[in-house]
Amino acid sequence: MQGRVFWGRIGRAMPNVYVLLVLAITLLWPAPGHGQVYFDFDHAVYHTCYDGDTCMMSLPGIHPLFGDHIPVRLAGIDTPEMKGHCEREKQLARQARDLVRSALSGAGAIHLRKASRDKYFRIDARVMADGQDLSDVLMMQGLAVPYDGGTKTKDWCVEAGGEASGLLGGGGP
């Protein structure tokens, strides 16, 4: 009964609060099909890449708290992991990382397209180096597979011919 008395007093003291709350929720709630908001950033500054799909960049003009040395994930792909399950995966991871590092360090212009936050609060974006989408470049080189953020399905330890190698594959006589 105490809760009802408390809320009743609040309701009488501030009758417009409920109206404002409903109005704010209505205006701020995304419309169906428009839940994701994307941004484009021009002239990103490259610092380094941890692996083939995660780099560190700065976004000029954005407050340093949000735009200085932030992790950027290349959208739409998954690359081999640096701490992979086998030597083959680790080697492919280094190749992917080195390709992206080379493209970004030599780029005259780096742009982030369709940028949003991913589930780990990184920037998830199409990374363009001198007009080339690095996600597409990695997939064409066989160093990335399409990825939508769900379960990873690629076994990088299995060679194209179907043979496993390294620690998980046995690789023995």
Q: What is the pLDDT of residues 24-66, one digit of tens each?
A: 555 555 545 555 778 899 999 999 999 999 999 999 999 999 8
Tell whether 166 is covered by a domain.
no
> What pLDDT does 158 receive?
87
Q: What is the pLDDT of residues 147-170, one digit of tens each?
A: 887 778 788 998 765 555 444 343
Type of residue at 127: V
> What pLDDT does 118 receive?
86
- pTM exceeds cut of 0.75: no
The mean pLDDT of 61-90, rounded to a whole number, is 93
Number of domains in the chain: 1
> What pLDDT does 30 receive?
52
DSSP state of 131: T
**Calpha distance 5→44 (Å, rounded):** 55
Q: What is the pLDDT of residues 85-117, one digit of tens each?
A: 899 999 999 999 999 999 999 999 999 999 998
Show the domain range for 47.
39-150
User: What is the CATH number for 74?
Assistant: 2.40.50.90
CA 157, 161, 162, 168 torsion-angle sign: negative
Q: Report in angstroms the alpha-carbon separations of 132 from 49, 67, 97, 126.
A: 17, 23, 16, 10
Tell whether 164 is covered by a domain.
no
The mean pLDDT of 117-122, rounded to a whole number, is 87
> What pLDDT does 159 receive?
76
> What pLDDT does 143 receive?
96
Tell whether 173 is covered by a domain.
no
Tell whether 1 is covered by a domain.
no
**CB 109, CB 135: distance < 8 Å:** no
**CB 86, CB 167: distance < 8 Å:** yes
Q: Among all chains, which residue has been given the structure tokens 């205006």? A: 27
**Calpha distance 110→72 (Å, rounded):** 12
